[in-house]
Amino acid sequence: LALIGFLLVVAYRQTVAAEPARTQARDTLIAQVQNRRTETERLQRQADKLADEVAALRDSELGDAAVRRLRELEAVTGMARVRGSGARITVGDGPAPVDPVTGERSNDGRVKDIDLQLATNALWQHGAEAIMINGQRLTATSRIRQAGEAILVDIRPVASPYEIVAIGPEELAEDFRKGVAGEFFTLLSNRFGISFEAVDADDLTLEAATELKLRSAQPSIAPEPSGSVSSSVSGSVPARTPESQVTEGGR
């Protein structure tokens, strides 16, 4: 028993002695992420300014009807800034105690990507028309992914607390609280100390998403038959409907 006790004491002291080195490495990585984030924000502001200039030139060449139709499509797809009332959902990491034996931090109280996916999909289901997570606007192709301890929304890191704002029906916040997602976050709050709040919000402004990348396209008008095709073929060729895809966080 004395020998076992001695070995446990030695193992514990070695683990505690190694903790400062791990903490220093973690702090260094956090500083690097913050520096990269600052540079990314600067480049994003520059890109937004150029996008506004392009939009102004485009509108000057289009008619009023085309501009109105374009504005409607941009709002639906997330490419335009929108305002309205809805809900604000806030979730944050719970405590992360350190195991005195192994020196490892518990991740049970950490919000994960699947939690944010559940929250956003529940908001879409309850009638949300536009959603933003920590300033990142979601679109139909948005993805919420875990990268180590960080959560990425469309390759952009977001940190706790996670503020999910959505424009939608007046009862959006209440429906969320009473739904499956609200019950799930209440359970996480009671068990692991994760913070959770769902409240009504007025006069919300959701910024536009970054430029979407075209993944597939179809001609709005079927091309004319080529000379190699029999002249008996006439009319438009029905376009194939692309298969629907499930995306994490997007509709």
pLDDT digits (tens, 9 = 90+) for 67-86: 888 888 888 888 888 999 99
Question: Across residues 162-190, what is the average pLDDT?
Answer: 95
pLDDT of residue 214: 62
Same domain, residue pair 86 and 202 = yes
Domain that holds residue 198: 81-206
pLDDT category of residue 91 using cuts at 50, 70 and 90: very high
Is the pLDDT assigned to residue 249 strictly greater than 80? no
Per-residue confidence band for 51, with pLDDT thresholds at 50, 70 and 90 = confident
What is the model's pLDDT at position 66? 85
Of residues 101 and 223, more confidence is placed in 101
pTM value surpassing 0.75: no
Is residue 109 domain-shared with residue 25, that is, in the same domain?
A: no
Same domain? For 101 and 22 the reply is no
> Alpha helix (H) ranges present in the chain?
2-61, 64-77, 113-125, 172-178, 180-192
| CA contacts within 13 A on the Cβ side of 70 | 12
Q: Give residue 107's pLDDT.
A: 84
Residue 51 falls inside a structural domain = yes
The 10s digit of each residue's pLDDT in 188-247 is: 999 999 999 999 999 999 988 876 666 666 776 765 654 433 333 333 333 333 343 444
Percent of the chain at pLDDT exceeding 90: 39
> Quick one: which of 91, 150, 79 has its CA closest to 122?
91
Q: What is the DSSP letter of 246?
A: -
Q: Which of 97-101, 103-107, 174-178 has the highest mean pLDDT?
A: 174-178
Q: Measure the CA–CA gap between 249 and 184, rounded to whole angstroms.
A: 17
Mean pLDDT of the chain: 82
Domain assignment of residue 165, yes or no: yes
Could you tell me if 96 and 160 lie in one domain? yes
Length of the chain: 251
115 assigned to some structural domain = yes
pLDDT recorded at residue 233? 30
- Domain presence at residue 211: no
Same domain? For 144 and 86 the reply is yes
Q: Reduced to 3 states, what is the DSSP secondary structure of residue 34?
A: helix
- CATH number for the domain spanning 196: value is 3.30.70.1880
Is-contact 96 106, C-beta < 8 A?
yes
CA distances from 35 to 30, 185, 250 (A): 9, 32, 28
User: Which pLDDT does position 235 carry in this prediction?
Assistant: 34
Could you give the number of structural domains in the chain?
Answer: 2
Q: Which residue has the higher pLDDT, 100 or 197?
A: 197
